[in-house]
Amino acid sequence: MIWKCTDKNIEYGDKPLVMGIVNVTPDSFSDGGDHFTPEAAVEYALKLVENGADILDFGAQSTRPWGYTEISPIEEMDRLEPVISKVRAQTDVPISIDTYFPVVALNTIEWGANIINDVSGVITEKMAKVVRNNQAGWIIMHNGAGGVDEVHKFFDESINKCKALGIDKSQICFDMGIGFGKERVQDLALISRISDYKPDGYPLLLGTSRKRVIGEYGGESVPKNRDYGNIAADTAAILGGADIIRLHNVKAEKQGIDMAYAIKKMQSKG
């Protein structure tokens, strides 16, 4: 199956894809400030590709649950432009932009991005226009409280809205929104019951990397120390049908993802 993202045709549906996170921020919950300068962000992004990332996801706006200050679209673009342009010049790996501002989406696509990772949880005509006119990939995330039934309903409604706005279904990817307004038990249910709400014919992205659900059930308060718990969540999600795993520690977690894929392939052989 193909996920169409500007000039990239991303194959999915068999081996899970790895999306590496590059936070160009001073205040992200896990690694804020580690790659805040353009030079550090570019170096880190290329390292993620070397370690096996299939997609790079850049964010210049922290979306942590607390303790952050929203920045303007202009500041977001100021952080992203020197990074995206340089990374695109050095690798052909698909680039995703974590933003909910249509103007940021438009400009970053012009700089070489292929995917808009929209965490707003709202399908707007302005963002839809950017996606439609540029044939970009669009990750649509459920944002807010809700369990399996609510997420299933949101995905179904989103499919209908996108159709009405002229978005080709091959451009759409879904994300259940782990950690965004949900209780930890809801997060856990969503990870464990993917097959109950994943829409047929659309890629599904899992984004649990170092989040509170891993900290609570894995007993680890420090986000950077949650990679081991993440591998367990990744494995459950892959066996349930997740197509893309968004994560921080590509080198360590790719080993777990590859093992989970091997197990899934063996299960399919009966």
Query: Which residues are catalytic, by number?
Result: 211, 246
Closest CA to 58 of 38, 262, 72: 38
Measured N-to-C along each axis, helices 125-134 and 102-111 cross at an angle, to the nearest 10 degrees, of 10
Extract the tokens encoding 9: 């045709």
Around Cβ 138, how many Cβ atoms within 10 Å?
25
Residue pair 250/22 in contact by the 8 Å Cβ criterion: no
Residue 105 corresponds to which amino acid? Answer: A
Q: Would you state the torsion angle of the CA atoms of residues 127, 133, 138, 143, taken in this order, to the nearest 10 degrees? A: 10
d(CA 24, CA 81): 11
d(CA 166, CA 115): 17
For 32-55, give the DSSP string: TTTT-SHHHHHHHHHHHHHTT-SE
Which residues in 214-228 are b (16+ Cβ under 10 Å) and which e? Answer: bbebbebeebeebbe
d(CA 109, CA 131): 9
